[in-house]
């Protein structure tokens, strides 16, 4: 009885799956186009070649051009990864078939792999087409030797690898996959011929948010005095999905309150509603946090400006990215083989510039500097234990110690390392504070501009020093 029951369940599971994976026999035609995707201009430009390829594959083949088979879209949920994948299909007029990695997590043995196989079989039949795999990290995280659910994952992933290698570029199938954690993915997935191109879909900046709001306002009745730009400025950190949600919530509130059109207050209430929802996920950005982030990032940027060896600032932002509340981006330099001691010491100063700014301008310090501190400590430790840059320790690699059980400097070596690391860090922190105290006016000015605009470009940053 149990065996029969098991088989029945297994079959039901299998049948249920089919409906989910295959939207229809021919795959879904989407009527989404690039016009429906606001912002993301560079990303769209990059993806136009894929659209062209899907439309006229022959041209590309005749030229001998190879188009990537797999493209990884990286970004947090709600930033429009699915939307842009659908838009590619819509622009090219090809079917869109999709599956989500998370569907595989609680599946019977072997089903995951067979589902992947069927998906690709179908794609080959209806090609040219787009396959979209959402949450690929659920099946594509690093392979382990574990059993049970883990090994089921391995089977699914192996099947995906086999399929990616199996279809020829002349089959005109593009596989797009989405993830928020590209670093978790099995390296095998990222090899040439598989997902060898990555496109980062970042949370929108103020201008992007305004455009997204405009798109979602199109089919709604909104009072003419509502300024979407203003709302965009008040919604730092919101994703496209959250912005769409704000306008929808506002429309609901307006209907319930029997307004003739959506008012500014309806939208402000909706923002609050969505923000409180966000607060639970600790993603709300209060005015206080924004100010702290602004000073912190301005600190990094200004300190770097006064350090000979550090790269020029490319962009300063208080729009959250990943786990960071803001970021300071530097211009890249030509590849270098060696890093000098001066450079490393100055790097420490730049890293601690964020914390130093919090201290000197706000007279309080926060957890926002934790990553900077981690990186700085690691660099300082390497300087002492690996690169022989501490006078007291000398040019000795202390990592060799454990391996060969040499104790080159006696038993107090750990204490000495600790002291040397502390001296490096303390010196760097004092230096960062000194620079900022001498440039207090600039620190305030840059922070205030950041609060106002969220992003400052390299050119604008330079104007503060003229």
Query: Residues with catalytic annotation?
Result: 297
DSSP E strands, 112-224: 129-134, 173-179, 197-200
* 197 CB-near residues (< 8 Å, 6+ apart): 68, 70, 71, 72
Query: What's the closest the beta carbon of residue 61 comes to Zn ion, in angstroms?
Result: 48
Q: Is 39 left (phi over 0), alpha (psi -120 to 50) or beta?
A: left
For residue 347, state whether it binds ligand ADP (rule: CB under 6 A). no
393 binds, among ligand ADP, Zn ion, none (CB under 5 to 8 A by kind): none
Binding mask 263-292 for ligand ADP (x = CB under 6 A): ------------------------------
Closest CB 82 distance from ligand ADP, rounded Å: 3
| Interaction partner, residue 27 (ligand ADP, Zn ion, none; CB < 5-8 Å by kind) | none
| Rounded CA separation 203/237 (Å) | 7
Binding-residue pattern over the window 398 to 437 for ligand ADP, x denoting contact by CB under 6 A: ----------------------------------------
Instruction: Provide the mask over 190-219, with x wherever binding to ligand ADP is found by CB under 6 A and - wherever it is not.
Output: ----------------------x--x----
Which part of the chain contacts ligand ADP (CB under 6 A), choosing from 10-18, 70-78, 167-175, 217-225?
A: 70-78
Which tokens hold the place of 243?
């912005």
Query: Burial level of 396, CB count in 10 A (0-12/13-18/19+)?
Result: middle
Question: Where do we find the tokens 């900077």?
Answer: 372
Among 79, 155, 317, 328, binds ligand ADP (CB under 6 A): 79
User: Considering only residues 57, 78, 277, 388, which one is a binding residue for ligand ADP as defined by CB under 6 A?
Assistant: 78
Q: In the complex with ligand ADP, which residue's Cβ is closer, 44 or 191?
A: 44
- Token pair, residue 255, equals 């209907």
Q: How far is CA 124 from CA 20, 131, 320, in A?
A: 18, 10, 40
Smallest gap from residue 161 Cβ to ligand ADP (A): 23
- Taken in order 447, 451, 455, 460, the sign of the CA dihedral is negative
Query: Who contacts 225 (Cβ-Cβ below 8 Å, separation ≥6)?
Result: 264
Shortest Å distance, C-beta 231 to ligand ADP: 15
- Kindly tell me which of 201 and 226 has the beta carbon lying closer to ligand ADP: 201
Distance CA 64, CA 169 (A): 11
> Interface with ligand ADP includes 153 (CB under 6 A)?
no
| Rg of the chain, C-alpha, whole Å | 27
Whether the Cβ atoms of residue 284 and residue 271 lie closer than 8 Å to each other: no
List 39, 112, 128, 182, residue binding ligand ADP (CB under 6 A): 39
Instruction: Reduce the DSSP state of residue 221 to 3 states and report it.
Output: coil
Residues making contact with Zn ion (CB under 5 A): 354, 372
Among 17, 51, 68, 82, binds ligand ADP (CB under 6 A): 82
Sites for ligand ADP among residues 166-195 (CB under 6 A): 178
Map residues 217-256 to x or -, x wherever contact with ligand ADP holds by CB under 6 A.
-----------------------xx--x------------
Which residue lies nearer to Zn ion by CB, 56 or 321? 321
The helix or strand, by DSSP H or E, that contains position 107, with its residue range, turns out to be: none
CA–CA gap between residue 428 and residue 307 (Å, rounded): 11
78 binds, among Zn ion, ligand ADP, none (CB under 5 to 8 A by kind): ligand ADP
Q: Give min distance, CB of 37 to ligand ADP, in A.
A: 5
- Please, what's the largest Cα pairwise distance for the chain? 84
Nearest distance from C-beta of residue 369 to Zn ion, angstroms: 6
From the number of C-beta atoms within 10 Å of its C-beta (0-12, 13-18, 19+), residue 414 rates as exposed
Shorter beta-carbon distance to ligand ADP: residue 51 or 424: 51
Residue number of the CB atom closest to ligand ADP:
240
Q: Applying CB under 6 A, which part among 78-86, 272-280, 301-309, 361-369 lies near ligand ADP?
A: 78-86
Q: 126-160: b or e for each residue (b if 16 or more CB lie within 10 Å)?
A: ebbbbbbbbbbbbbbbebeeeeeeeebbbbbbebb
Count of residues interacting with ligand ADP (CB under 6 A): 18
Give SS3 for 255.
helix
> Taking CB within 5 to 8 Å according to partner kind, which of Zn ion, ligand ADP, none is near residue 294?
none
User: Would you tell me which residues interact with ligand ADP (CB under 6 A)?
Assistant: 37-40, 75, 77-83, 178, 212, 215, 240-241, 244
């Amino acid at each position: 009885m149990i065996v029969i029951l098991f088989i029945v369940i297994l079959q039901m599971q299998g049948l249920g799956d089919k409906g989910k994976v295959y939207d229809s026999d021919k795959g879904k035609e989407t009527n989404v186009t690039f016009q429906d995707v606001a912002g993301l201009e560079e990303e769209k430009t990059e993806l136009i070649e894929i659209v062209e390829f899907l439309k006229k594959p022959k041209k590309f083949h005749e030229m001998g051009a190879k188009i990537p088979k797999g493209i990884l879209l990286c970004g947090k949920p709600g930033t429009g990864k699915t939307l842009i994948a659908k838009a590619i299909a819509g622009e090219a007029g090809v079917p869109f078939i999709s599956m989500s990695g998370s569907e595989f997590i609680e599946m019977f043995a072997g089903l995951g792999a067979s589902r992947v196989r069927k998906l690709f079989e179908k794609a080959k039949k209806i090609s040219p087409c787009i396959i979209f795999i959402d949450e690929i990290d659920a099946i594509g995280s690093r392979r382990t030797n574990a059993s049970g659910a883990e090994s089921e994952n391995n089977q699914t992933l192996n099947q995906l690898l086999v399929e990616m290698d199996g279809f020829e570029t002349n089959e005109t199938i593009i596989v797009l996959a989405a993830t928020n954690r590209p670093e978790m993915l099995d390296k095998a997935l990222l090899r040439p011929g598989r997902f060898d191109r990555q496109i980062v879909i970042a949370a929108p900046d103020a201008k992007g948010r305004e455009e997204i709001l405009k798109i979602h306002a199109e089919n709604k009745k909104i009072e003419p005095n509502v300024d979407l730009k203003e709302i965009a400025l008040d919604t730092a950190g919101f994703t496209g999905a959250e912005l769409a949600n704000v306008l929808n919530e506002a429309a609901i509130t307006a209907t319930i309150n029997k307004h003739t059109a959506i008012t500014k207050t309806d939208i402000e209430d909706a923002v609050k509603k969505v923000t409180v929802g966000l607060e639970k996920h600790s993603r709300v950005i209060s005015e206080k946090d924004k100010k702290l982030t602004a000073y912190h990032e301005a600190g990094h940027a200004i300190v770097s400006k006064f350090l000979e060896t550090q790269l020029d600032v490319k962009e300063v932002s208080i729009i959250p990215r990943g786990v960071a509340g803001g970021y300071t981006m530097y211009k890249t330099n030509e590849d270098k083989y060696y890093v000098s001691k001066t450079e490393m010491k100055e790097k420490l100063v730049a890293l601690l510039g964020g914390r130093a700014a919090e201290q000197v301008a706000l007279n309080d310090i926060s957890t926002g500097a934790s990553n900077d501190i981690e990186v700085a400590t690691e660099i300082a430790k390497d300087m002492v234990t690996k690169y022989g840059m501490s006078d007291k320790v000398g040019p000795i690699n202390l990592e060799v110690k454990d391996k060969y059980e040499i104790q080159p400097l006696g038993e107090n070596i750990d204490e000495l390392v600790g002291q040397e690391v502390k001296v490096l860090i303390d010196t760097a922190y004092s230096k960062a504070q000194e620079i900022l105290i001498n440039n207090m006016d600039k620190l305030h000015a840059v922070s205030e501009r950041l609060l106002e605009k969220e992003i400052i470009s390299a050119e604008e940053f330079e104007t503060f020093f003229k």
